Structure 1
Amino acid sequence: MSRGIVIFLTDIFRPPQPPSTNAGRRAECGERKGQELGPMSNRSHRWARPRCNLAVVCAAIMWMMAVTLAEAAPAPFRLTLEPDFVTLFEGEYPVFRYVRGEILAPGAPEDRRRSTYIHPLYSVDDLPLTDDFPTDHLHHRGVSWMWYRVACDGITTDLWTLKGVRQRFERMLTPALYEDRAVLRFRNGWYQDADGKRILEERVTLTAHRAEGGGRIIDVELLFSAPGSPVTLGVSNTGYSGFGVRFGPCDSKTILTSTGPITADENRNPHRWADFTARFTDTLRLDGITVFDHPSNPNSPPGWTLRFYGYLNPAFTSRTDDYTIRAGEPLRLRYRLWVHRGRPSAERLEQIYQDFARRK
């Protein structure tokens, strides 16, 4: 297509060919008898002046620029919709799959059925990094947000291990797909098993940015509202609850936090961010995910549950009292995921955190 434009422009600027005979030239120039032929002037020889329609030229140039930009632009984001899943792609590579159906792994007990979380979350090169229904913790589920203790109207349930309460997908709002990012929004509810009561409204906003520099940023915003009675969220005895990432099988594992690297599992220690990097294939290639806690979250920086089997969990109530959501007083939580190749430096991760912290 670009070659055709060049030919078109060449034709526009090509001057008309002069007459082939000297007599013809004299006739064309209006030469009078006895006048000598001297050097051609632009004024007296029309074929020396390119004939050019400025509007046509401008249109052609703009067309050529548009074609060039279109050829150079990265492939846009797109979605595939299935009854149980919404999968986001950038070009041909999947970014993540959001689970909206209530699914159950083959052989898992019926009470492990769950919904409204991300799995798989993929590397920038199409490698699944998260796990779902792992045999050591069947209740762990990709990238999720679940609390060990949920209390409402005198009934205490457990969303972490799916005892007495569970999240249910209700609707997907119109997605916004741009060249540099995709924004997906979901509305869900928390329902008690005993009476089917909807005790909490959950709104999820996922913003996936275009992959660049060997990584991809995904911003997660969670908004919880109590439509009626207050709902109280609490943690386990060791501090786990809330937003978490469960990693798939891997080796060569490292955990780096905003206060430095760790060499053993941790409970409740405060960090602004934590990174898990490992080898998820049989090659020497390393991939990882960093979780950043936004400073606007309650009790930031939170205490973390960090596990070398593959778990990152910033729990904003792990070092404080339980948190109660009341009608008209929603809870807003914001996290950033950086999916990356290789093992990042602390300086690079702190830079990403500071950028995230500046966003209101």
Structure 2
Amino acid sequence: MKKLFPSLLQGCLLASVLLSAKIADAQLLARIRIKTGAYKCTDIPVSVTLSPAAIRAADSLQLTEVTKGQRKPVLYQVEGERLYWVPGKTSGPDTIRTFELYKQQTSYNSTSRLMQLEDSAGVLKLRQGRAPLLNYNYGMVYPPAGVDTVYRRSGFIHPVWSPDGQVITNIHPRDHWHHLGVWNPWTHTSFKGKETDFWNLHKKEGTVRFKGFISRTTGNIQCGFTALQDHIAFTGNKETVALNEEWSVHAYYSNNTERRIWDFSSLLSCADTSGIEMLQYRYGGGFGLRATAAWTAATSYVLTSEGKTRKDADSTRARWIKITGTDNGRQAGILILCHPDNFDYPQPLRVWPENSEKGEIMMNYSPTKMRSWQLDYGRSYALHYRVMVYAGDLTPQEAEEAWQAFAHPPVTDVSWTK
């Protein structure tokens, strides 16, 4: 643990300092209560909007949890007008927990930024301490030498690491050069009266390209980014931006060395007044994953919220899907949660059958698998997913609890002092 997560030890030392700090002379700003729903919550980020006085005191805040009259310090992060924290430990169903926010002369919140970004050579790495979580490739990535450069792409995630350091994604596999870790281009669309495919790059009809960062975030509770990506349609030598997309990816601090959580959102808006229609098709858009080649029908298994497996998950709807595989004797997996606000929820799945593609895994939450989706100019359309990457395995109950906490997060109630 010391080798992989030295910052956690630093956090523990910080907590010891905080526990000994006296707050008798501090100014109480707010009491915050959070209430869980009918399911347990573990390592779920929560946030509240700060008062003007708290915003002005952002550099000298102290957050504590009150339990049986005892106050325990809690790490937090201020982003704009909101206060973020991860309550830590498991909250049982219908549990109320109380927190107090103080203004002090000296803030005891860690300044080490436990959740970090590392930017190098077109890659933005998200980390907890020294442990890598995922890479966002904003620079252009080319296929292996000798392969048609039409398969070059930017704006995708790879690698994704498990908490114990395993790489669980794959890019440019020989069978599908255009598969890129975690990515979500739209496949069968109608743009300006022409069918346009942004997924299958060899068709030379379109692509997705990173345009720029809107924001980046680091701190004790979360790290991440919001990036602008363009869906670009090709007509001969002419390029036309058909769709603007904001990718928002944020990872959250966790005390659990076997679990990591990050949120993935796609905000779509038409770049052209003609709009665009996402035509009904068996895959495309949403959330796409090409798993490591080590995970095959013989070394992995799939389970959905509806009890479907690799044998029958394709073309079914699911609130969540989890994929667990073994690589060199080590087991890890990924759980993808679909938010109830998403288009055509619960969204249909594209899952390769176990007897195809050498048994390897490609899955896609495909919003338009069952019906088309018209996007009009001047409006925005959002898709939200949460990802839990884990070492070992998850039980179906743990997967369901994670989805419930995502779909029905703890309710917060804030009482500000005068």
TM range (shorter): 0.7 to 0.9
**Residue type of the partner of 1:125?**
D
RMSD of aligned Cα (Å): 2.4
Deviates most, 137-146 or 304-313: 304-313
Candidates 175, 181, 188, aligned match of 2:229: 188
Deviation, 1:124, is 1.2
What per-residue deviation string (whole Å, max 9, x for no partner) do you get for residues 39-98 of structure 1? xxxxxxxxxxxxxxxxxxxxxxx99995xx85xx98612222234211112111111110
Deviation, 1:175, is 1.1
Bigger share in strand:
2
- The aligned runs of 1:125-274 (5 Å cut-off) are 125-162=164-201, 163-194=204-235, 195-213=238-256, 214-228=258-272, 229-236=274-281, 239-242=282-285, 243-251=287-295, 252-264=299-311, 266-274=313-321
- The aligned runs of 1:1-360 (5 Å cut-off) are 66=108, 76-107=114-145, 108-162=147-201, 163-194=204-235, 195-213=238-256, 214-228=258-272, 229-236=274-281, 239-242=282-285, 243-251=287-295, 252-264=299-311, 266-280=313-327, 282-283=328-329, 285-307=330-352, 308=354, 309-320=360-371, 322-359=372-409
Would you say the 8 A contact 2:304–2:313 is kept in 1? Answer: no
Unaligned runs of 5+ in 2: 1-12, 14-103, 355-359, 412-418
After TM superposition, the runs of 4+ consecutive aligned structure 1 residues lying more than 3 A away are 62-66
**SS of alignment partner, residue 315 of structure 2:** strand
**SS of alignment partner, residue 356 of structure 1:** helix
Which is bigger in relative contact order (C-alpha 8 A, separation at least 6)?
2
Distance (whole Å) between structure 1 residues aligned to residue 324 and residue 303 of structure 2: 8
Query: What TM-score does the superposition give when structure 1 sets the normalisation length?
Result: 0.76
**Residue type of the partner of 1:331?**
Y
Distance (whole Å) between structure 2 residues aligned to residue 140 and residue 235 of structure 1: 21
Deviates most, 328-337 or 154-163: 154-163
Distance (whole Å) between structure 1 residues aligned to residue 246 and residue 113 of structure 2: 29
Would you say the 8 A contact 2:198–2:232 is kept in 1? Answer: no
Name the CA shift for 1:161/1:263 in 2 (closer, same or farther; >3 Å): closer
**Residue type of the partner of 1:155?**
K
Distance (whole Å) between structure 2 residues aligned to residue 75 and residue 169 of structure 1: 27
Name the CA shift for 1:193/1:64 in 2 (closer, same or farther; >3 Å): closer
Deviation, 1:264, is 1.6
Name the CA shift for 1:204/1:325 in 2 (closer, same or farther; >3 Å): same
Query: What TM-score does the superposition give when structure 2 sets the normalisation length?
Result: 0.65
Would you say the 8 A contact 2:160–2:169 is kept in 1? Answer: yes
Deviates most, 242-251 or 296-305: 242-251
Bigger share in helix:
1
What per-residue deviation string (whole Å, max 9, x for no partner) do you get for residues 310-330 of structure 1? 12211111122x112111222
Aligned length: 292
Name the CA shift for 1:342/1:326 in 2 (closer, same or farther; >3 Å): same
What per-residue deviation string (whole Å, max 9, x for no partner) do you get for residues 244-270 of structure 1? 111012242010110114142543111
Distance (whole Å) between structure 2 residues aligned to residue 357 and residue 101 of structure 1: 33
Would you say the 8 A contact 2:189–2:276 is kept in 1? Answer: yes
Larger Rg: 1
Deviation, 1:209, is 0.9
Name the CA shift for 1:64/1:333 in 2 (closer, same or farther; >3 Å): closer
Would you say the 8 A contact 1:230–1:325 is kept in 2? Answer: yes
**SS of alignment partner, residue 240 of structure 1:** coil
**SS of alignment partner, residue 171 of structure 2:** coil
Deviation, 1:173, is 2.3
**SS of alignment partner, residue 173 of structure 1:** strand
**Residue type of the partner of 2:268?**
F
Distance (whole Å) between structure 1 residues aligned to residue 247 and residue 280 of structure 2: 21
**Residue type of the partner of 1:311?**
M
